[in-house]
A and B are shown apart, each in its own frame.
Chain A
Amino acid sequence: MELQARYLLDALYEARNLQHLYDLNFRVPDGPAKSIEALKQLCRQQVAREIRFKDILLPDHYAIKGVCTKYDDHYEIGTLQSLNRCWKRFVTCKELFHVLLDDPEFENLDLGAHFEQSVLDTPNVDGTHAPSAQCELIAEYGAIEFMFPFKDRIKLAAQGVNSQSVAETYLIPRIYVERYLSVSYMDFFEAVHKTYRIGEQG
């Protein structure tokens, strides 16, 4: 899926802004795993609408692990109740990035179209992808930058670490550790950081 650069940059800068606020507001213990309760507090402060968090009473074998619904006066984030700790953390974080990156441009209540654009990666006739579909990936990138930042991934990739161990350290699903430490993803984000001169956070 081709992404608009400004969406990607918005997600990365939002993650960095959150990191800054996180460091300012909370006494952060040793270890890189982020507190999702702290993230929820920060997001509630950042966003005008109320954010409600729900557990969906279904087993975890469904391919849809979470839902973020926007109403006029609130957002509702639902995650499958039966997800394990790492999955529930990551799904909650990613759905919160939908809230943080919310824009009328991303709104799409045509569920059939959104499904096809997101799951089937169906492009528009001109080859572009709908903003509402792009923002699914963008929200994931923002969540990863917050929970498993690129500056950490650079160091880990150079060491050749065990993905299970990293997943347990960062408390994120192992599949995302492997994906974001893969050569192609590391090359992609390195190119993004160089092209747009995204420097180290102070």
Chain B
Amino acid sequence: MDANERLRAAQSALTERGARDVKFFFAPEAGCKLPSEVKEDLVTVLEACINGRVVDQQSFADELPRR
């Protein structure tokens, strides 16, 4: 599948799971890549999320004591 087909498949998968909105962090270097390359990156990241290639985020070592 090309990136557009993969993106549509990702959108369908998210919709089926009840997603209402998705926002992305596009790094500044996205401006130095071809749009097609950025789209490939986007679908790869989305597919990782959809296919469970995630773990709980590790805590940041910066916890502050409460007053």
Contacts and interface: CB of A to CB of B under 8 A. Distances in A.
A2 interface: no
Contacts, number: 172
Interface residues of A, number: 61
Given A67-B46, A68-B24, A70-B20, 19 more contacts: A26-B67, A28-B64, A35-B63, A37-B60, A38-B64, A56-B48, A57-B54, A65-B27, A69-B19, A71-B17, A71-B20, A80-B45, A98-B23, A110-B11, A111-B7, A118-B26, A119-B30, A132-B23, A136-B23
Contacts of B53: 56-58
Interface string A118-130: 1110000000000
B55 A36 contact: no
A77 B28 CA distance: 19
A48 interface: no
Interface string B23-63: 11111111001010111011011101100011111111011
Given A35-B63, A57-B53, A108 B27 contact: no
Nearest to A91: B25
Interface of B: 4, 7-8, 10-11, 14-15, 17-30, 33, 35, 37-39, 41-42, 44-46, 48-49, 53-60, 62-67
A36 B62 CA distance: 7
Contacts of B37: 63
A55 B63 contact: no
